[in-house]
Amino acid sequence: MVRKLAAEVGFQLAGVADASPVPHFDRFREWVDRGLAGEMGYLTDHRADLRSDPRSLLPGAKSVIAVGMLYEPANGSGMAGYAAGEDYHAVIRRCLEALAALLAAYGPFDWRACVDTAPLLERSLARQAGLGWIGKNTCLINQQTGSFFLLGELLTTLEITPDSPPPDRCGTCTRCIDACPTAAIVPSPQGGFELDARRCISYFTIELRGEIPVEHRTGIGTNVFGCDICQDVCPWNRRLAQPEPNPAALEELAALSQGEFRSRYRHTAVSRAKYGAFLRNVAIAMGNSGLEMFREPLERLGKSDDPLVAEHAAWGLGRLDGLTR
């Protein structure tokens, strides 16, 4: 019944997990304690321990309905695929609320809708709910659909028979590890692999507010917001056509005023990057493109009143001249 109702409101994947202590919490806590979360304070502050048990967010919860919404890979513009269109947080929340309304027809219950801003170990819960296994790239992978999907959770006081986690099907494959330009997928002391966020392109282009470490700028390539490389190369995503790069889009992005940036991206996930950091990313991408057509835009960004933008534009120009790497 849960899968049927979830499909009616727009989710392609759905399953149920017990609302009980999360199996992978100790692994998460140890990862945080080793500093691999970088400057993502929302993972390391007082909210960190809330992730140990979904009942911290909804007392009396008995079941977690985990859902997945598919999205298409990037369109070649340097933006992660999920950045296209309306902010997925709002979309998934609306659909979760609609799912709760359908379930209410079967009787009253308490619920709470959660997207990735809530302090939940959502991949672990989704794994418990049978949506997929956690791959070496730390993405949740579904055998039928791959990994290009976003997660949401409906915490409920309903007692629903839970699903079971699927087996890990990564096998000996290391394509994601080998393809990561900044070597962000590293062996874990607890076995298997983990993500060192301090080396991840998505972290640099979305979460990090200040300067991007010089030693990692070349590895960012022409990514402007997020990165899908470890998913693009995954054999479980082979059904999806991979887009051709479109570096020309960078010139348009570099010319956006702050007002235009806000207007274009106000209701999208891209707004999370903030204007200055966004132009910082564009400057790095233009430098890494190696294309002379970006010299004038980089020179213009180099005159920015924002020191963050100006410094990265200067680096980009140096890259075009072969002086930086």
Q: Around Cβ 238, how many Cβ atoms within 10 Å? A: 10
CA distance linking residue 199 with residue 192, whole number of Å: 18
Burial class (CB in 10 A: 0-12, 13-18, 19+), 263: exposed
Q: Is the dihedral of CA 186, 189, 190, 191 positive or negative?
A: positive
- CA 104 to chain centroid, in Å, comes to 31
116, 178, 306, 321: the active-site residue? 116
Query: Looking at 61-130, which runs of residues are DSSP E strands?
Result: 63-70, 111-114
CB 57 within 8 A of CB 118: yes
Whether 116 sits among the annotated catalytic residues: the reply is yes
Cβ of 77: how many Cβ atoms within 10 Å? 20
CA distance 112 to 224: 33
Cα 239 to Cα 52, 60, 104, 166, distances in angstroms: 35, 41, 37, 20
Cα(218)–Cα(140) distance, rounded to whole angstroms?
28
Nearest to 169 by CA among 129, 194, 133, 145: 133
CA atoms within 13 A on the CB side of 65: 26
The CA distances from residue 117 to 93, 113, 316, in Å, are 11, 11, 33
Report the chain's terminal Cα–Cα distance, integer Å: 55
Instruction: Decide if 116 contacts 122 (C-beta within 8 A).
Output: yes
The answer to whether 224 and 282 have CB atoms below 8 angstroms apart is: yes
Catalytic residues: 116
